[in-house]
Structure 1
């Protein structure tokens, strides 16, 4: 059985897993045929039970309450086997594949690991384990008939599940990108560490068969692999869930920073009829802040449309082309110059839009390039040339 420095880590980890699993129950009740959700719930509950039951204190208490020296052994081994099968089942249902293939693999996984759980209890019942062993059960009873087979059965089943899960995660990671790829490439070494854990215990058991003693692999070395495998596993499952929202927030923050020059230029533009809501940045999601910022900028540009002068835009466009800008960049630069001059003209004559020449609306629709174009020397030159002198001096 598993050994560890203390019980707190087992109880805390197990309780967290069970609480998360309980939070998924309403969704499972609504979608009882969702195999991915069922596999996730099974993984959480078997993992939580395994951590609670594998705590050294739990092993001692279970043996004492049952009145049987090592009843905790098959219970812990069965939950470990169930957890291994649930891990493999989750990967099978998580990975994109034809539905028929997924169902067939899922049935095979459930049947195989269900039989292993049954075999663990049957073999334990057929054997004899009179001396209680909390930490060295595997090696102490490595030569006991039926118990020997039970130990090998559960270790091989766990190792096979972890090896297959590791292989599936690594192969699938080559086909995807972003946080899902990062999560899979974190899960793969987590499963590989468990394979090493199993291999060490099998080596120690095999050493007992040949008359040697490598018990330190069971009670000193292999337990040290539990913490890193658990940490990597948690991060691996968390990354695909948390990655997309974090990436979306990062993109929103980057766009807010890129829109800052345009916002500073247009935040005081009069927008009759438009409602500007102040969103406190410290408690508003970045995506919502970005939406509000874009809406306010579009309102400001719409309010400036009657003041937009095609002659200003044409001059800025020619100047940008002479400067070496490509056609697309020149268009954006021209729009930025026209809007900046329109801001000054609106401020100079807020009540009466200019008459005469029909006004040309801006051509660009992406605000970020427009905002970045404000730094162009062409925009500054056209602004000084066409803006009303007093306002130009005021805003310089």
Structure 2
């Protein structure tokens, strides 16, 4: 069982790190902060509930079963954090959200105090690492402690389920997908944890033995439920950013031919981006470097090379748009070739042409230019100097 819950804890912990990748920005945004808190507390709950961890906590404190109230208190705190997250996610006035958060904290704070108090006065000297709920189901004060933490978590699930079902009818897109995942996670958590634990404990109250529901069924099902719920919270927040970084990574690869063509051009030095920076940041650096290099290369642009290449591309059956991109790429390749030996390069009339690729939004225009540089035979001819232009007869 430890392996299952440790795996769930690791996934949730990694999710919390991704959400909290920018601490200052996260703390300024209540929604981001509460999401990080909920996912992080979920990871802590799973970590603490593993029998190996429970044994280590008990040995460290010297108190048999001390890990139980610690875990139950964290489950209650996790339940509270989920409700607070829904409060911020749902929105409303700042005063309303603050009032609801205070109520949730007061309710679950009182529950945590009650759990600790009941454990303190209970007689739980026999250490139980995997079946404490059922073993102590009929023990005074331990019985009430177990019932309280189950009641607190069950109430959280009911509130979440009700709010998410009602809210999912009002929204669309990723938010609706996230809410449906949360609902699925709540159902798994409710059936696999709450119902299984409650039935097993109630069976002990009536003199029956259904301990397997608590020890064998609940841990894996609640692990899956927590992961699904966390996905529901994270997808609407992380997926758009992940898609952006994936596209940035694709653009970085596609811009390689263009950057290779321009690397010999003298530009103002810039700090190289660190290897650990996200693709979007690296793409911004590369775009800025390319634009600077293109500005430095502009005096070497030859309109005749561009016009000859345009006519050739049109003659080869390219569309007007494709031909224009190929012509710009050919002019760029020719300019880069001559910029490498500027003292031998003479143009009668400097070009005033502005590359349309630099006017396109984002990196799309530059990507088209890079693809033409790497694929078009017209560009290859310009790079090799076989396009006749206004250069002096020595070329």
TM-score (norm 2): 0.66
CA RMSD of aligned residues (A): 5.3
Q: For this pair of structures, how many residues does the alignment match?
A: 371
Is structure 2 residue 189 aligned with structure 1 residue 194? yes
What is the 5 A alignment of 1:1-396? 37=33, 40=36, 44=40, 48=44, 52=48, 55-57=53-55, 65=63, 76-94=71-89, 96-117=91-112, 120=115, 132=126, 134=128, 135-142=130-137, 148=143, 150-165=145-160, 175=172, 177=174, 191-195=186-190, 196-225=192-221, 228=224, 249-269=245-265, 271=266, 274-276=267-269, 279=272, 286=279, 289-321=282-314, 325-346=318-339, 350-356=343-349, 359-365=352-358, 366-374=365-373, 375-380=375-380, 386-387=387-388
Identify the range of structure 1 (84-93 vs 317-326) with the bigger mean alpha-carbon deviation.
Answer: 317-326
User: Could you tell me how far apart the structure 1 residues matched to 2:340 and 2:332 are?
Assistant: 12
Change (3 A) 1:319 1:388: closer
CA contact (8 A) 1:39 1:93 kept: no
Q: Deviations over 1:8-58 (max 9, x none)?
A: 969x98xx89xx9xx99x969x97995864785587579748955884436
CA contact (8 A) 2:189 2:226 kept: no
Secondary structure at the aligned position of 2:78 is classed as helix
CA contact (8 A) 2:181 2:228 kept: yes
User: Could you tell me how far apart the structure 2 residues matched to 1:359 and 1:185 are?
Assistant: 56
Structure 1 residue 261: Cα displacement = 2.1
CA contact (8 A) 1:81 1:113 kept: yes
Secondary structure at the aligned position of 1:268 is classed as coil
Instruction: Structure 1: state its 5+ residue gaps.
Output: none
Change (3 A) 1:251 1:79: closer
Secondary structure at the aligned position of 1:212 is classed as coil
Q: Deviations over 1:286-316 (max 9, x none)?
A: 5565455444433443344333233333344
Instruction: Structure 2: state its 5+ residue gaps.
Output: 359-364
Structure 1 residue 379: Cα displacement = 4.0
Structure 1 residue 224: Cα displacement = 3.9
Structure 1 residue 202: Cα displacement = 0.8
Secondary structure at the aligned position of 2:343 is classed as coil
Q: Deviations over 1:326-345 (max 9, x none)?
A: 54434323322222333445
Change (3 A) 1:368 1:203: same
Structure 1 residue 267: Cα displacement = 3.2
